[in-house]
Amino acid sequence: MKGNLQRTFVLTLLTVAASPVLAAKAPVTDLNASATSTSTVVSVASAHAASNETDVERLERLLQNRNRVQLQMQTQMDEMALEISELRGQLERNSYNMEQMLQRQRDLFIDLDKLRSQMGTAAVASTATQEKKPSKGTFSTNADEQTAYQNSVDLILKKKDYTGAIAAFKQFQTDYPDSSFAPNTHYWLGQLYFAQRQDKEAEQSFKAVLEFQDSNKRADALVKLGDIAKRGNDLETAKKYYQRVVDEHPTSSSAKVATSRLK
């Protein structure tokens, strides 16, 4: 009897201890919530993928724009470089032409200074030889002839009227065909034509100077004939004229010029 009571008491205790556990609700899985969560994850993944694709496209577009801008800039730089090159070439040509013009002017003024000193010497000599008829290679004692010649020179030296000087020298040659100033007039006509790049006329005038063997303008005329040939790209002829200066007038200042041209 006592043993049965003990068994009953133990079972009762076990029942009381187990009842809270049995009373607790079992966990229930919400299938709808799980499906919703899964859908959300998929949507986020899809949006993220779409976002990545858009970034790639944007990057490609930016790269293409950059390449296009770089190409345009390179094209502009090439065009600017070409323009700068052309401007540099034009500047060099202008500088060369200016130097040539200045050199011609220097030569012209040097010759004019020589002519002035010669005219002064001629004026003194003419006083002592008024009765003597001038021969070629000497200065004329004819006052009108001297005045006409001096007026022609003044058109160059004082008035800078080169076109008028050409007309005046040609008229002088017509009025005084046997003048002792004849070689000088041909020389000055050659200089004036050469300055105006009328090379054909200049060549004729300088060659006319060569006919006067005693003229102090022969050496200069030969140099100018060489310069005309050189300007016409006839280098062989130019060298021949320069060499003639050296051979025929070795002690002249023109020979030094010719020697420098031959180098």
The more confident residue out of 232 and 22 is: 232
Would you state the structure tokens that stand for residue 17, as one six-digit string?
């201890």
Q: Would you state the pLDDT for residue 116?
A: 52
Q: Would you state the pLDDT for residue 87?
A: 79
Q: What is the pLDDT of residues 13-36, one digit of tens each?
A: 555 454 544 444 444 445 454 445
Would you state the structure tokens that stand for residue 151, as one six-digit string?
């007026």
Tell me if the pTM is above 0.85.
Answer: no
pLDDT at 125 over 50: no
pLDDT at 144 over 70: yes
Q: Would you state the pLDDT for residue 188?
A: 94
- Would you say 185 and 178 are in contact if contact means Cβ atoms under 8 Å apart? no
Q: What is the mean pLDDT of residues 219-231?
A: 95
- Would you say 183 and 215 are in contact if contact means Cβ atoms under 8 Å apart? yes
The more confident residue out of 231 and 4 is: 231
Letter string b/e over residues 200-229, b meaning 16 or more CB atoms within 10 A of that residue's CB? eebbebbebbbebeebbbbbbbbbbbbbbb
Would you state the structure tokens that stand for residue 12, as one six-digit string?
């009762």
Q: What is the pLDDT of residues 83-99, one digit of tens each?
A: 787 777 777 777 766 77
The dihedrals phi and psi of 177, each to the nearest 5 degrees, come to -65, -25
**CB neighbours (10 Å) of residue 149?**
26
pLDDT at 39 over 50: yes
- Would you say 192 and 156 are in contact if contact means Cβ atoms under 8 Å apart? yes
Q: Taking all residues of the chain, what is their mean pLDDT, rounded to a whole number? A: 75
Q: Would you state the pLDDT for residue 74?
A: 84
The more confident residue out of 220 and 138 is: 220
Q: What DSSP letter does each residue of the chain carry, written as one string?
A: -HHHHHHHHHHHHHHHHHHHHHHSPPP---HHHHHHHHHHHHHHHHHHHHHHHHHHHHHHHHHHHHHHHHHHHHHHHHHHHHHHHHHHHHHHHHHHHHHHHHHHHHHHHHHHHHHHHHHHHHHHHHHHTTTSPP-TTS----HHHHHHHHHHHHHHHTS--HHHHHHHHHHHHHH-TT-TTHHHHHHHHHHHHHHTT-HHHHHHHHHHHTT-TT-TTHHHHHHHHHHHHHHTT-HHHHHHHHHHHHHH-TTSHHHHHHHHHH-
Tokens 């060489």 label which residue?
Answer: 226
Q: Would you state the pLDDT for residue 209?
A: 95
Portion of the chain with pLDDT greater than 70, in percent: 62
Would you state the structure tokens that stand for residue 61, as one six-digit string?
């577009």
